[in-house]
Copies of this chain bind each other. A is one copy, B any other.
Amino acid sequence: MVFWSNRRLPRPEMPRLRPRVAPTALAKVDFTELVPEPVPFLGQAAYIQLEFFESLARSVATAPTLSAKEGLSRAAGGALRQHHALIAELRRLGVEPVEVMAPFAPAAERFRLASAGADWYELLLGIHVTAGMLDDYFSRLAEGLPGELATRVRAILAEDEASAGVLHDELFAAIAAEPGLADRLALWGRSLVGDTLLIARSALRASDSRDRGADVEPVFTELIAAHTRRMDALGLTA
Instruction: Tell me how many residues of A have a C-beta within 8 Å of chain B.
Output: 25
Of B60, B87, B101, which contacts A54 at CB under 8 A? B60
A74 contacts which chain B residues (CB < 8 A)? 84
Main secondary structure of the interface of A (DSSP, over half): helix
Assess the A73–B53 pair: CB atoms within 8 A. yes
Q: How many copies does the complex hold?
A: 2
**CA gap between A81 and B74 in the complex, in Å:** 9
A179 to B69, CA, bound (A): 40
Choice from B50, B66, B73, B105 contacting A73 with Cβ under 8 Å = B50
* CB 8 Å contact bits of A70-93 with B (1 = contact, 0 = none): 100110110011011001000000
Give A66's nearest chain B residue, CB to CB: B98
> Counting CB contacts under 8 A, is A21 at the interface?
no
Q: Sorted from nearest, which 7 A-B pairs have the closest CB atoms?
A: A57-B57, A77-B80, A54-B61, A67-B98, A66-B98, A66-B102, A70-B98
Residues of A within 8 A of B (CB): 50, 53-54, 57-58, 60-61, 66-67, 69-70, 73-74, 76-77, 80-81, 83-84, 87, 97-98, 101-102, 105
Can you show 7 pairs from A to B with CB atoms below 8 A apart?
Answer: A53-B57, A53-B60, A54-B61, A66-B101, A73-B80, A77-B77, A80-B80
